[in-house]
Amino acid sequence: MKNIVITILFLTTIVVGYIAATSKLRLSLEGLEGKSKTIVRGDLMLPINATGEIRPALRVEIKSEASGEVIEIARLAGDRVQAGDLLIRLDPADEQRSVSRAKLDLEVAQYRLEESKISLLQARNQIDSAYSRVAQLQASLEFSLFRKEKIEALPPEQRNDEEVMQRRTTYVGQLAQLQGAKAEHELAKLKVQQVQQTVHQAEATLATMQNNFAEAQERLSETDIHCLIDGIVADVRTQIGEVIQGGKSAFTGGTVLAVVISTDRLMVKAEVDESDIGQVLKIAPPWASPGHASHLRMPENLDEALAQAGQLPIITVESFRDQEFHGVIERIYPEPRNISNVVTYLVDVVITSENRRLLLPGMRADVRFTAEKRTDVVLCPNEAIREGPHGQLGVYIPKRNTPAQQRDTEFVVCKLGLDNGSNTEIIDGLTVGMTVYTKLPSKTDKDKDDS
């Protein structure tokens, strides 16, 4: 048994030593020979990366104009709903009493309006009566004046002083009656104006009571609280037995009872750095740029939006790392956000891909915009690009027409194009299939030191 253990330990030592020696040899050879890659042809994209939060394009807070105790919750958070579905029911007793009070107030207002109209009719009749009396007294006064002037015109010997005095007295008395009748006529006209004001006030009161009654009936109907849109119940913020204040009685506009979101249209509100927003503006569709014409709007139909948008941002989330989601830029906000001296601009990206139903509001998302793209170009890894002996940019390649074991190199000047951080477009200087050094052989380093 002891010999077996010794044998196993011996063999283990040999294996470990072999592995270590092989690794050192490989590292040594790699250091001598350097590292290289082959020039290939492919597509190159210059991405702009941004982060944001997935949000529903439509989010509705459900409130009620009615007040009362919650007696039923018909839908819970996570339930799918359609417009018109019952969400929450309140006890209608309080609102029913409000309807009864409003109805009584309405009946009283109708009675007072009718009463004021009757008073107006009576006042107008008084005007007619007063006017008739004025006309009658006017005629009598003219006759009295005629008789008085006639007797006063007789010679003294033909006049009877008593009769003259009587006619003068009759004239003065009728003149006073006429003046009194005219005053009554003016008072009757003022009375009509006053009663007309009363009628107007009664009409206004009736209109107010009618409005109050209609609102009371509406609040009674709103004790059954229905969904306003198709979507998913995101949150229910009440419970059975809770007494809520309606929008008409609360300064805050009422209590939020539930939140419903539309999942048919999700978006990412991405934060784009100020250094990149110019490139995003270049690829944005016409309806997204700040200052666009008011008639330009992103089509409601997502297929139409896709057809008109052109470049489509790519969206990824941590929850589904193996999937990509596509979107359309809907809006670029012109006002920047400055947080700790970091300036960003908000960009709304509507998610259009079919797999968008996997996403949930609130998820953090990475958005990649393609600012520039090159198709079928010569690509060189960035780690191979160096500064040459005379300051030009290019690459080192194995020296042509020399044995490989000598590890000689030569520098090739390159004309560079687009750079995405990993690879660079080679416009001139290299061809597909050429080998370039990403790490120079050690001999080259020694030769450079010697020189």
CATH code at position 72: 2.40.50.100
The 8-class DSSP code of residue 240 comes to T
Check residue 100 and give its pLDDT: 93
**Is the same domain home to 196 and 242?**
no
**Same domain assignment for residues 200 and 147:** yes
The answer to whether residue 76 is domain-embedded is: yes
For residues 117 and 198, what is the distance between their CA atoms, to the nearest angstrom? 9
**Residue 376: strand, helix, or coil:** strand
Last residue of a domain, one of 221, 244, 278: 221
Q: Over the stretch 346-383, which tens digit does the pLDDT of each residue have?
A: 999 999 998 988 898 889 999 999 877 888 999 999 99
Tokens of 9: 């330990």
Tell me: do 190 and 179 sit in the same domain. yes
- Taking only the tens place, the pLDDT of each residue in 370-421 is 877 888 999 999 999 999 888 899 999 998 877 766 678 899 999 999 888 8
Domain that holds residue 73: 61-91+223-261
The reply to whether 215 and 237 lie within a common domain is: no
Q: Go through 122-136 and write b for each residue having 16 or more CB atoms within 10 A of its CB, e for each that does not.
A: ebbebbeebbebbee
Same domain, 147 and 216: yes
The answer to the question of residue 435 being in a domain is: no
pLDDT (mean) for 229-253: 80
pLDDT band, residue 22 (cuts 50/70/90): very low
Give the residue from 223, 354, 336, 332 showing the smallest Cα distance to 279. 332
In a shared domain, residues 287 and 342? yes
Of 166, 194, 221, the residue that ends a domain is 221
Q: How far, in Å, CA of 360 to CA of 358, rounded?
A: 7
Tokens of 70: 């919650």
Phi and psi at 248, nearest 5°, equal -80, -20
Q: What percent of the residues of the chain are helix, what percent strand, and what percent coil, each to the nearest 5?
A: 45, 30, 25
Q: Are residues 277 and 321 in the same domain?
A: yes
Residue where one domain finishes, among candidates 373, 403, 421? 373
Say if residue 47's pLDDT is above 90.
no
Pair (275, 322) in one structural domain: yes
Please, which pLDDT band fits residue 162 given cuts at 50, 70 and 90? confident
- 76 vs 377: CA distance, rounded Å: 55
CA angle 411, 413, 416 (to 5 degrees): 135
What distance in Å separates the CA atoms of residue 349 and residue 370, rounded to the nearest whole number? 14
What's the pLDDT tens digit per position in 55-91?
Answer: 998 899 998 888 888 999 999 998 999 999 999 999 9
Same domain, 84 and 229: yes
* Residue 390 CB neighbours (<10 A): 8
Is the domain of 72 the same as that of 136? no
Domain count, the chain: 3
Examine residue 237 and state whether it is found in any structural domain, yes or no. Answer: yes
Provide the CATH number for the domain around residue 310.
2.40.30.170
Contact partners, residue 187, CB within 8 Å, separation at least 6? 130
Q: At what angle do helices 93-152 and 161-221 cross, to 10 degrees?
A: 170
Identify whether 41 is part of a domain: no
Q: Of the given ranges (24-38, 41-55, 86-100, 250-264), which has the lowest mean pLDDT? A: 24-38
| Collapsed DSSP state (helix, strand, coil) of residue 385 | strand
- What CATH code is carried by the domain that includes residue 117? 1.10.287
In a domain, 387, yes or no: no
Residue 116 lies in a domain: yes
**pLDDT of 232 over the 70 cut:** yes
Residues 99 and 217 occupy one common structural domain: yes
Would you say the pTM of this structure is higher than 0.75? no
Amino acid (one-letter) located at 431: T
Residues 111 and 211 in one domain: yes
CB atoms within 10 A of CB 360: 15
Residue 428 lies in a domain: no
pLDDT value at 448 more than 50: no
